A = this chain, B = another copy of it.
C-alpha cells in the first residue's frame, strides 16, 4: 500500500530539509467485488465491498519534535463503495487517535483497534476481511452488546518501543463514561524475530451481560518458511457460564506476482445461550498483484454449521433460522486499489 504524501510547510519548501522530517498523508482503499452467496437455500448475487482489504479514506501524519520525540495523528473512515455510504454513526470509526512517541515507546489516545483484535487479525492469512474473514466465526456475546470488542472508544494505549530485541507489547484501558459494555482493559505481548512472530493478547469488556464481564484470550503466531507462511491462532471468549473457542490455521504461498491463501477455522460454543453453537470454515483464495497498490483477487469460502451454529460467509437476506445447522458458501472476484 503505497501512500500519498504531500509536503508540509510553506509552498515552495517542498524539497526543504525541515519539511522532510514531517509529513501528512492522505490514504485510502477502494475494494469492490462481484460476489455470490448461498446461505442455506437462499442465493444472491451482490456487488460487495472489502473482499481483500477494508475500503477506507484517511489522513495521518507524523511531526518530528526533536530530541527523539514525535507527535502523530491518524484519522480513518470506513467506506462502502458499492453504495457510496460511510459510517454514518462513527465517521472516523476505523481510527481516530493522537500520539506522542519517543524512546519510551508510544502513548496513543482515542478510538482504535483493541489488542486482542490485532492479535487475531495477525493470524488470518485473509487479513480478517471478506468472505474468508476469521471474524465470520466470531461469537456475538449473548444478552448484551459488547461495544468494544474489535475497537474501543476512549482508549489510552501504551506501546513498547521497537528497541527491545523483537519483543513488542501494548497496554490499553478505555473509559466507560457510563455506557454499558464500553469499559475495557486489555493488552498484548509478542515476539518477532526472523521467521517467527508469536503473541498473546487479553481483553476484558466489563459488565456486558448484567454484572458479567467478557474475557477474551488470543494466542496467535506465524512462521515464514519463505516458500510458504503458516498462520495459527486460538481464541477463547468467556462470559458467565459460556465459553466460545475459535481455532484457526492457515497458509499463504507466494506465487510470482501473486499469492495463494488458505485457512481452516473451527468454532465451538459451550454453556448457556451459545451451547452447541458450532461451525467449521474452509477458505481458499488467490491475490494477483498488478502493482503494489492494485490487485485482482478471487476467494471461495465455505462454512458448515453444526448444532445451533448459524454463521455465514456474508449476509444475503437469509435469517438465522434459515442458516441454523446449514451450509453457507460464497465466491468473489474483485479489485482492490490503494492510494
Contact = CB atoms under 8 A, between A and B. Distances in A.
Interface of A: 2, 4-12, 14-15, 19-20, 23-24, 26, 28, 30-34, 44-47, 57, 59, 61, 63, 65-66, 69, 71-73, 75, 79-86, 88-98, 100, 109-111, 151, 153-156, 174-175, 177-178, 290-291, 293-294, 316-317, 334-335, 337, 339
A282 to B, nearest CB: 25
A94 B19 CA distance: 29
A86 to B, nearest CB: 4
29 contacts: A2-B9, A4-B7, A8-B339, A26-B26, A28-B59, A30-B73, A30-B97, A30-B98, A31-B98, A32-B97, A32-B109, A47-B110, A47-B154, A63-B337, A63-B339, A69-B290, A71-B294, A72-B337, A75-B79, A81-B92, A81-B96, A81-B109, A83-B111, A84-B94, A84-B151, A85-B92, A88-B88, A88-B91, A178-B317
Given A69-B290, A82-B110, 17 more contacts: A4-B6, A5-B7, A5-B8, A6-B26, A11-B23, A12-B15, A14-B15, A28-B75, A30-B110, A47-B155, A57-B59, A71-B294, A71-B337, A79-B92, A82-B96, A84-B93, A84-B153
A84 B79 contact: no
Contact of A177 (B44, B69, B109): B44
Contacts of A15: 12, 14
A337 B32 contact: no
Contact of A71 (B6, B89, B98, B290): B290
Contact of A174 (B28, B47, B79, B100): B47
Nearest to A31: B98
Nearest to A6: B6
A85 B81 contact: no
Nearest to A13: B5
Contacts of A30: 73, 75, 96-98, 110
B7 A6 contact: yes
Per assembly, the copies of the chain total: 3
A37 to B, nearest CB: 10
A178 to B, nearest CB: 5
Nearest to A47: B154
Contacts of A316: 178
A219 B6 CA distance: 42
A69 B339 CA distance: 17
B32 A110 contact: yes
A51 to B, nearest CB: 11
A63 B3 CA distance: 12
B82 A153 contact: yes
A164 to B, nearest CB: 24
A175 B46 contact: yes
Contacts of A31: 98
Would you list the 5 A-B pairs with minimal beta carbon distance, nearest first?
A86-B91, A47-B154, A84-B111, A81-B96, A32-B109
A10 B110 CA distance: 28
Given A71-B293, A84-B110, A8 B4 contact: yes
Contacts of A72: 337
A180 to B, nearest CB: 13
